């Protein structure tokens, strides 16, 4: 792994642990055991590191976006796909937990953040469109997009708050996926679909 990749990996770990505001470029260099000059050779500062991490998150979501039609063949495919989306979000959770700081404390990041949010909203809308293709949900396109926005906001909120911090990350993600599917259940049941059982939805 090259120095640039090590900087990004270490930065992400530190940002996830401490928040983006608490970590400086010097903190990152110290954690890596490299000189600040070596870090600045690759990135001119923390803002450039965050911009690169936003781009990496956007790329990871784009890969999932491109796999959507292939992976979503039936209702039972939705939970695994939601988990894949949530895992990407959890991996880059500092970007969502600190979104106000990224947008306002670092003005140069506003465009990158807006592009990422647009990507997430697009995936959420296409997810509902794909589900509707499998079996009509009885919603107008406008209603479907509003439901997609509700799913997106719930997913982002689940990344920002650890309701049960004693649990490992994967358990939390599975519960978040179940919660999202519960929002969909009235429409899925009306269409004769049920991607998650009552037992799964109430699982600890």
Number of domains in the chain: 2
Residue 131, pLDDT > 70, answer yes
Q: What is the pTM of this model?
A: 0.86
- Residues 21 and 110 grouped into a single domain: no
- Residues 25 and 52 grouped into a single domain: no
C-beta atoms surrounding 141 within 10 Å: 11
Percent of the chain clearing pLDDT 90 (strictly above): 50
Query: CA-CA distances (angstroms) from residue 53 to 28, 35, 146, 181, 201?
Result: 14, 21, 29, 29, 33
pLDDT digits (tens, 9 = 90+) for 110-128: 888 888 999 999 999 999 9
CATH of the domain at 53: 1.10.357
The C-alpha atoms of residue 111 and residue 113 are separated, in whole angstroms, by: 5
pLDDT digits (tens, 9 = 90+) for 173-199: 888 888 888 888 887 766 555 555 444
Domain range spanning residue 111? 47-201
- Residues 76 and 159 grouped into a single domain: yes
Name the nearest CA neighbour of 81 among 175, 186, 177, 199: 177
Q: Is residue 26 a contact partner of residue 48, using CB atoms and an 8 Å limit?
A: no
- Residues 107 and 38 grouped into a single domain: no
- Residues 40 and 53 grouped into a single domain: no
pLDDT digits (tens, 9 = 90+) for 20-63: 989 999 999 999 999 999 999 999 999 999 999 999 999 999 99
- Residues 57 and 14 grouped into a single domain: no
- Classify residue 154 as exposed, middle or buried by CB count within 10 Å of its CB (0-12, 13-18, 19+): middle
**pLDDT value of residue 194:** 58
pLDDT digits (tens, 9 = 90+) for 56-93: 999 999 999 998 888 888 777 888 899 999 999 999 99
**pLDDT value of residue 136:** 81
Name the nearest CA neighbour of 74 among 176, 204, 191: 191
**pLDDT value of residue 203:** 47
- Residues 54 and 24 grouped into a single domain: no
Cβ contacts of 100 within 8 Å, gap of 6 or more? none
């Amino acid at each position: 792994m090259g120095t640039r990749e090590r900087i990004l990996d270490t930065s992400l770990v530190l940002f996830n642990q401490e928040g983006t505001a608490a970590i400086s470029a010097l903190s990152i260099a110290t954690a890596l055991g490299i000189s600040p000059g070596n870090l600045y050779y690759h990135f001119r500062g923390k803002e450039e590191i965050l911009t690169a991490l936003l781009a990496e998150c956007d790329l990871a979501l784009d890969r999932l976006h491109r796999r959507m039609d292939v992976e979503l063949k039936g209702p039972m495919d939705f939970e695994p796909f939601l988990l894949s989306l949530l895992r990407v979000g959890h991996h880059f959770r500092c970007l969502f937990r600190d979104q106000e700081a990224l947008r306002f404390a670092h003005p140069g990041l506003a465009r990158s953040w807006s592009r990422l949010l647009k990507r997430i909203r697009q995936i959420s809308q296409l997810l509902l469109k794909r589900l509707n293709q499998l079996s009509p949900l009885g919603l107008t396109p406008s209603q479907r997009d509003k439901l997609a926005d509700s799913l997106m906001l719930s997913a982002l909120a689940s990344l920002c708050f650890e309701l049960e911090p004693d649990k490992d990350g994967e358990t939390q993600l599975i519960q978040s996926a179940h919660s999202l599917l519960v929002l969909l259940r009235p429409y899925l049941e009306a269409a004769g679909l049920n991607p998650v059982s009552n037992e799964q939805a109430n699982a600890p």
